[in-house]
Amino acid sequence: MSTPAIELPAVPYLDISDPSFAMQSEALRTAREQSWYARTNFGLAVLRYDEVSKLLKSPKLCQGSAKWPAHNGVHGGLFYDWWTKNLLVLEGEDHHRIRRLLNPAFSPRLIKDLVPRFQDLANELIDAFIDQGGCEFIRDFAEPYATRVLTILLGIPESEWPKIARLASTVGLALGVTFKQDLDKVEAAVAELYEYAEELIKDRQANPGVDFVSRLVLASRDGDRLSDEELRNALVLLIFGGMDTTRNQLGLAMQSFIRNPEQWELLARRPDLGGKAVEEVMRTNPTVTWVTREAVEDFEYQGLSIEKGTTVHLFTQSSGTDPRAFPNPELDLLGEHAPHYGFGGGVHHCLGHFVARADMSEALPLLARRLANPHLTGGDEWLPDSGNTGPTRLPIGFTKRA
Amino acid sequence: MKTIDVDRSLCDNHGQCAIAAPAVFRMNSDGVLEYEETFDDALLDEVEEAVDVCPVQAIFLKD
Ligand code: HEM
Ligand code: SF4
């Protein structure tokens, strides 16, 4: 089956807005064997590793999320202005200029200095529930951890995390199917985040230090710098892009290890495998289930004509477990595997990945060292599999390790 | 003078280096990285930035 799309005229079809649509399903595995792509009710879906890898970086495709507000009948307002001017949707030199100015603050060398704070935070959260033999993993760990990491990075008082978490989640409603109904709430949340960001910027402009936001405020390149508005938009994007993703990915990590208890034991014995644990979880169980692109021109790829304007969904979990690239696709902390696309790829590759990798690779081994035999105790609730997924409630039991 | 070595077995053609240091790294029309091994000293800062931002840390500077 070297060119199945041509041998088999029946290209698979997937209804990706069906609430019961499942990424990790026989239907999807069958589709992936049949063809490298599927048609969906909303554009094409790319299913295999090589094709996802190439198309993710293809100059023929651009960010597909830019027109999201317009698709939902939203043509103005605070959210619209912010969304259409942020790094995630900008293209070409407009994108690269901002990315260049933001990059230095995200240097892996600077992020490393935060590791002891990530460890203290993880232990503090675990201390609070370890004697109870169980917890609601999202409420008691994933959400406060993901949010407080961001407050540590941005230098916001950690006590304000519940408010920041609520605002970020409210802005996140903009990406859901009920966007239009939620518009007033979303606008109010953007306004509040703007205020936060503006205050931070003013404070660091007056008293610059060596912290993360000061680095952004002072960033310059070839005589160019970020305007106050660009800085504000970027800070709100970091809050928006960094919290729910990390929370969901930690929840999915717990699910993965509950399914693979021997790997959890391995991680408990070998905390040095924390980094591998993050990669393996994101390859086999990513929160961002697809990255959306749009064809900038008509082009042909592997015998398929793709028309300008076509939406193309690059499936992350499907590509990360494609048997063509991963003969043993199961989660394996000792396996040598090709890179996954859970952080996207190409020019829009996640800007915060060093932060996310550093914080999750500390959290997972600390959890494994202290919680033996984690298991589901029922009552878990989940986001749908389309776009960004993960548990919103994950009650677990465990044995406190001696 | 330092020279650039990209480990092609690691490089995944994300093109972040070409954003950070466009004078030295560029992506060709197939989306594959091309780069100069040597560069003007004045570009050292941006080359170091490219080394930093590469998502798979595939770029190495050699003396
Ligand atoms: C596990 C956690 C995370 C996951 C799974 C994740 C995933 C992603 C993905 C898939 C993209 C690409 C989207 C696209 O191409 O359409 C992206 C972009 C981005 N992420 Fe993350 N992310 C995470 C954490 C973070 C954190 C902690 C931050 C900030 C501190 C962050 C900031 C950003 C930004 C600014 C972009 C836009 C980059 C650009 O367009 O140039 N992310 N992320
Ligand atoms: S940033 Fe790294 S992976 Fe991307 S093209 Fe440059 S060297 Fe290759």
> Above 60 in pLDDT, residue A8?
no
Alpha-carbon gap: B52 to the closest alpha carbon of chain A (Å) = 6
Continuous segment of H or E residues that includes residue A392: strand A391-393
Q: Is the ipTM of this complex over 0.90?
A: yes
- DSSP assignment of B12-52, as one string? ----HHHHH-TTTEEE-TTS-EEE-SB--GGGHHHHHHHHH
Q: In the prediction, which pLDDT does A179 show?
A: 87
**Mean pLDDT of the A151-164 span:** 92
**Mean pLDDT of the A48-65 span:** 95
Local structure of residue A333 (DSSP, 8 states): T
Q: Most A CBs within 10 Å: which of B7, B9, B10, B16, as the mutation test of the A interface?
A: B16
Continuous segment of H or E residues that includes residue A95: helix A92-102
> Above 90 in pLDDT, residue A12?
yes
Q: Is B59 helix (H, G, I), strand (E, B) or coil?
A: strand
Tens of pLDDT, residue by residue over A371-391, are: 999 999 999 999 988 878 999
Q: In the prediction, which pLDDT does A3 show?
A: 52
Residue carrying structure tokens 């027109």: A67
Measure the CA angle with vertex A218, ends A214 and A219; round to 5°.
Answer: 115
CA distance A115 to A121: 10
Higher-confidence position of A6 and A99: A99
* A237 touches ligand 1 (CB under 6 Å): yes
User: How large a percentage of chain A has pLDDT more than 90?
Assistant: 87
Determine the topology of domain A13-400 in CATH. Cytochrome p450 (1.10.630)
> Which residue's alpha carbon is nearest to atom 21 within ligand 1?
A350
> φ and ψ at A294, to 5 degrees?
-135, 140
Q: How far is the CA of A384 from the centre of ligand 1 (A)?
A: 20
Q: Is A149 helix (H, G, I), strand (E, B) or coil?
A: helix
Q: In the prediction, which pLDDT does A60 show?
A: 95
Index of the ligand 2 atom closest to the CA of residue B57 = 2
- The domain ranges of chain B are 3-62
**Global pTM value:** 0.95
- The domain ranges of chain A are 13-400
Contact (CB, 8 A) for A164 and A152: no
Q: Give the N- to C-terminal CA distance of chain A in Å, as an integer.
A: 53
CA distance A55 to A346: 9
Q: Most B CBs within 10 Å: which of A55, A103, A337, A350, as the mutation test of the B interface?
A: A103
Closest of A312, A315, A364 to residue A341, by C-alpha: A315
**Mean pLDDT of the A340-347 span:** 97
Determine the residue of chain B that is closest to A93 in CA distance: B19
pLDDT range class, residue A1, cuts 50, 70, 90: very low
> Which residue's alpha carbon is nearest to atom 8 within ligand 2?
B11
Would you state the CATH architecture of domain B3-62? 2-Layer Sandwich (3.30)
Residue carrying structure tokens 């060119």: A3
Three-state SS letters, A346-391: HHHCCCCHHHHHHHHHHHHHHHHHHEEEEEECCCCEECCCCCECCE
Environment class of residue B44 by beta-carbon count within 10 Å: exposed (0-12), middle (13-18) or buried (19+)? middle
Closest of A138, A195, A146, A16 to residue A393, by C-alpha: A138
Please, what sign has the CA dihedral across residues A302, A304, A307, A310? negative
Q: In the prediction, which pLDDT does A249 show?
A: 98
CA distance A246 to A252: 10
Closest of A252, A364, A334, A365 to residue A24, by C-alpha: A252
What is the overall mean pLDDT for chain A? 94
CA distance A226 to A109: 22
- Cβ neighbours for A336, distance < 8 A, ≥ 6 positions apart: none
Closest of B26, B12, B16 to residue A53, by C-alpha: B12
Tens of pLDDT, residue by residue over B6-61, are: 999 999 999 999 999 999 999 998 899 999 999 999 999 999 999 999 999 999 99
Continuous segment of H or E residues that includes residue A300: strand A299-301
A332's tokens: 């394996």
* B2 touches ligand 2 (CB under 6 Å): no
A28's tokens: 């999807």
Q: Is A193 helix (H, G, I), strand (E, B) or coil?
A: helix
Measure the CA angle with vertex B45, ends B43 and B50; round to 5°.
Answer: 95
Ranges A165-179, A281-295, A313-327, B18-32: which has the least confidence: A165-179
Please, what sign has the CA dihedral across residues A137, A381, A239, B17? positive
Q: How far is the CA of A253 from the centre of ligand 2 (A)?
A: 27
Contact (CB, 8 A) for A351 and A254: no
